[in-house]
Amino acid sequence: MEARRQRDPAFSEVPAPPSVAASGPAFPCIVLDRVSLRFQSERRRVQALSDISLSIAEGEFVALLGPTGCGKSSLLRLVSDLLAPTAGTIAVRGEPAAAARRLNQFGFVFQEPALLSWRTTLGNVQLPLEVVGYPPEKRIARCEELLDSVGLLKFKDAYPHELSGGMKQRAAMVRALAWNPSILLMDEPFTALDELTRGQLQDDLLQLWNHERKTILFVTHNISEAIYLADRIVVMSPHPGRIKTVLRPDLPRPRTDDFHETQEFMKWTRMAREALRS
């Protein structure tokens, strides 16, 4: 088994866990150590993730880049303790993921806004505050402040069906930040949006991230989105999902729209594409 793994070219490219940890800053926020995930369906066993080792620093913006079926979304659910790994361990600030979940450390954003249709924008953003026990008298002020920062304050009394796709996704983003969790988990949050709106939301996200420095795990299959947003890009391959390579573009911030035309951006896009293809 071990010998076969050594000969596997994809595997040999995976950086060993210690080197990843060593290359990150001193305070790892999330550490995955040889994590595997198998789904047992009635007919067959599906190896969703195989031997994932990754260390994410406090305040780092990490993109998980890969094609459909490479287990990127499952990885987010493992980190947030919605799924349990079949093998390996996950630590969030030295504690098991379940402990971090109990402390409401995770803000989750999905591809669909997943808002409650019977609640207004303000009501939707308030939902997590009711659950995590945020002081009631501060709830509305906190929500309005966040809604204002993404230009949704005017629409605080609107219902989801009265909002555009971009507005809904902004509301979902604000909902995941409302109680100020330290880790933001984003599962292809902008995939369903049109090009222009996506650009705006990317900038909104970077601005929010600038404001309240979060650790962000951002799943995407869009190469330029990954390079535009992230500090580090984890390139994954499917069947079973594993880490192919880790890119660290280290490009200057703040990034604006013309960032897309820079030489550096092109170079890293090419590298990411090659990494995905190889």
Partner 1 sequence: MSDAAPTIQNRLRDEILPPLIILALALGFWELSVKILDIPPWLLPAPSDVVDRFFKTTTLWYHTGLTVLEALAGFAVSAVLGVSLSAGIVHSRFLERGVFPYVIVSNAIPIIAIIPLLTIWFGFGIAPKIMICSIISFFPIVTNTTRGLKATDRRIIEFMRSINATRLEILLKVQLPSALPFIFASFKIAASLALVGAVVAEFYSSDRGLGYLIITSATQLRTDLLFVAIVVLAALGVSSFMLFGYLERVTTRGERSDETQ
Q: Whole-number minimum distance, CB 82 to partner 1, in Å?
A: 6
Q: Whole-number minimum distance, CB 40 to partner 1, in Å?
A: 16
Number of residues that bind partner 1 (CB under 8 A): 29
Cβ–Cβ under 8 Å, residues 244 and 230: no
Antiparallel, parallel or unpaired: β 87-92 and 28-40: antiparallel
Count of CA atoms in the C-beta half-sphere (13 A) of 198? 16
Q: Whole-number minimum distance, CB 179 to partner 1, in Å?
A: 8
> By C-beta, is 102 or 239 nearer to partner 1?
102
CA distance 254 to 228: 10
Q: Whole-number minimum distance, CB 198 to partner 1, in Å?
A: 19
Mask: binding to partner 1, 87-126, rule CB under 8 A, as x and -?
Answer: --------------xx-x-x-x-x-x-x-xxx--------
> By C-beta, is 212 or 274 nearer to partner 1?
212
> By C-beta, is 44 or 161 nearer to partner 1?
161
219 binds partner 1 (CB under 8 A): no
> By C-beta, is 110 or 268 nearer to partner 1?
110
What residue type is 236 in one-letter code? M
Q: Whole-number minimum distance, CB 73 to partner 1, in Å?
A: 10
Exactly one of 21, 46, 91, 127 binds partner 1 (CB under 8 A); that residue is 127
158 binds partner 1 (CB under 8 A): no
Antiparallel, parallel or unpaired: β 61-65 and 215-220: parallel
> By C-beta, is 106 or 209 nearer to partner 1?
106
Question: Which residues 65-84 are close enough to bind partner 1 by CB under 8 A?
Answer: 77, 80-82
What residue type is 84 in one-letter code? A
CA angle, corner 33, sides to 31 and 39, nearest 5? 110
CA distance 188 to 168: 15
190 binds partner 1 (CB under 8 A): no
**Helix (H) / strand (E) containing 46:** strand 45-57
Antiparallel, parallel or unpaired: β 95-96 and 106-109: unpaired
Q: Whole-number minimum distance, CB 170 to partner 1, in Å?
A: 16
Q: Whole-number minimum distance, CB 161 to partner 1, in Å?
A: 5
CA distance 269 to 153: 36
**CB neighbour list of residue 123: distance below 8 Å, 6 or more residues apart:** 116
Antiparallel, parallel or unpaired: β 95-96 and 87-92: antiparallel
CB atoms near residue 33 (< 10 Å): 17
Contact positions toward partner 1, by CB under 8 A? 77, 80-82, 101-102, 104, 106, 108, 110, 112, 114, 116-118, 127-128, 130-132, 159-162, 175-176, 179, 181, 185
